[in-house]
Amino acid sequence: MKPLAGVRVIDFGQLTAGANTSAMLADLGAEVIKVESASFMDLFRWIGSGRETAPGWWNRSPQFRFTNRNKRGVALDAKIPEGRRVILDLIAKADVVVENFRRGVLERLGLDYATLATRNPRLIFASISSQGETGPYRLHGSFGSTLDAMGGIAALTGYEDSKPVISGSHVNYPDQVVSLFATGMIIAALRETRRTGKGALLDISQREVTSFLIGEEILASSADLGPVETRRRGNAEEGIILQDCFLASDRRWVALTLEDEADVASCRAIVGGDDNLRDGVAAWCAAHPAAEAVAGLAGAGLAAAPVHDGAALKRARDLAGHTLIWRASGEVVKGMPYCFGGQGPAVACDAPDLGEHTEEVLREILGFDDAEIQRLAALGVTRAEPYA
C-alpha cells in the first residue's frame, strides 16, 4: 500500500525528529528528497565507526542509514545565493517540507514558512522544534534528554523515592515519539489541503508532545489543589500488586507483573513460601536461568518476559515484526511501527550518500541541463564532500 504516492517531500530533517518523520512518509510511498550540503550535513552522518578518518566516512553512519532509507539525497548549499534559489524552486514543486532546525535558521536563510507559502500556497510545512514556533522559549535549544526533563516524563521516572531519571542519549524518547505524531498530522494536513487547496504550517513542539504523553498526570494534578510532590516508584504502578525486574541465575533480568490476587496465587504456587512475596520471587528467580524462569512464570499464565538488550533484539527477528528490515547485505534498517494487510515497508533504496541524487533531481524536477548543472558545481552549490 502506497497511500502517499505522488506526494513530494523536501526533507530538511536531521537526526531523528525530522529525518525520521520524512522516512515514515517515504515508507508510505511519498517521494522524499533530502536536502543537505557540504556546509551542513545531517548530524547523524558524524556518528559511527571511522568518523572523520575513513574515506567517505560521512556516508557510513549506521544511525544515518537507519533513518534515511527510501529517500533521494541532494547537496544544495542554501548559504550560497544560487543554492537558495534552487531550493526555492524545488519547494515550489513540493507538497511538504519537514524541518527541525533550531528556530531562526530557516528565517535567516529566507526559507521560512511565510516566504515559502507566497510561492507555494498549497505547501504543508512541518516545523518540528524543541518548544514551538512561538512563546518565550521558542529560541531555546534542547536535546531529547532536555525534553525528558522539561516535558515531565523524567519526574515520573526513577527508583523508589530517588532522583528523576532521563531516557538518555541512547534513547532520546522525545525525538522518537514526535516523529510518530508529526507523520500522522502531516497526513491529516495532506487530506485537508486536497479538500481546500490551502496549505498549512504545522507547529509541533517536541516538549508539548512529551507532556501530552503524560496527559492524565497533568489532568490529575489540576484536580488536587494542594501542593503535589511527584513521587517516583521504580517499576511499581499504583493498582498493581507487584511489578519489577528480578535477576536470574545467569545474570539476566526477568520482568514480571502481578496484577491481582489471582496472579499472586499463581505466582506463589511456583515460587513457594508464604512470607514476603517480593523476596520469594527474587530468591526463586535467582535460582533459575532467565529463560527457565520466564517459561515457568509465563506458563502459569503470568505476564513475565526476559529483558532484552540491543544484541538480543537483533537476534529476536520474530519480535521485530515490520519495525526492522534485514537487508541482503546483513545490515539492518528501521521499518514501520505498523503494517497494512500484513505487509511491511520495502526498501527501494538505501540511505543516500551526500549529494548522490543531486544531478538526477535537478534534471528531472527542474529540467536543468548540463550547462546549468556545471555552473552550480563551479559555484560550490552542489559540492558533495564536507569542508575539512
Nearer to another protein, 265 or 312 (CB): 312
Nearer to another protein, 278 or 374 (CB): 278
- Output the smallest distance, CB 66 to another protein, in A: 5
Q: Alpha-carbon distance 363 to 255, whole Å?
A: 55
Q: Write out the three cell numbers for 163.
A: 532522583
Catalytic residues: 175
Nearer to another protein, 81 or 337 (CB): 337
- Output the smallest distance, CB 366 to another protein, in A: 27
Nearer to another protein, 51 or 119 (CB): 51
- Output the smallest distance, CB 323 to another protein, in A: 4
φ, ψ of residue 132 to 5 degrees: the values are: 105, 165
Nearer to another protein, 129 or 358 (CB): 129
Nearer to another protein, 241 or 379 (CB): 241
Instruction: Indicate if the alpha-carbon torsion angle 353, 357, 358, 359 is positive or negative.
Output: positive
Nearest Cα residue to 179 out of 94, 104, 99: 99
Nearest Cα residue to 357 out of 40, 74, 8: 74
Amino acid in the structure at residue 372: E
- Output the smallest distance, CB 109 to another protein, in A: 19
Amino acid in the structure at residue 341: G
DSSP-assigned states of every residue in 228-279: -PPP--TT--TT-SEEEEEE-TTS-EEEEEE-SHHHHHHHHHHH--SS-HHH
Sequence-distant (6+) residues with CB within 8 A of 53 are none
Using alpha carbons, list the distances in angstroms from residue 99 to 13, 35, 78, 142, 183. Answer: 5, 10, 14, 15, 12
380: alpha, beta or left? (left if phi > 0; alpha if psi -120 to 50): left
DSSP-assigned states of every residue in 14-60: -TTHHHHHHHHHHHTT-EEEEEE-SS---GGGG-STTTTTSTTGGG-
- Output the smallest distance, CB 381 to another protein, in A: 26
- Output the smallest distance, CB 123 to another protein, in A: 12
Question: Burial letters for 178-191: b for 16+ Cβ neighbours within 10 Å, e otherwise?
Answer: bbebbbeebbebbe
Nearer to another protein, 111 or 153 (CB): 153
Q: Write out the three cell numbers for 134.
A: 512561538
Nearer to another protein, 133 or 372 (CB): 133
- Output the smallest distance, CB 128 to another protein, in A: 10
Question: Burial letters for 217-237: b for 16+ Cβ neighbours within 10 Å, e otherwise?
Answer: beeeeeeeeeeeeeebeeeee
Nearest Cα residue to 270 out of 305, 303, 306, 300: 300
- Output the smallest distance, CB 121 to another protein, in A: 12
Amino acid in the structure at residue 23: A
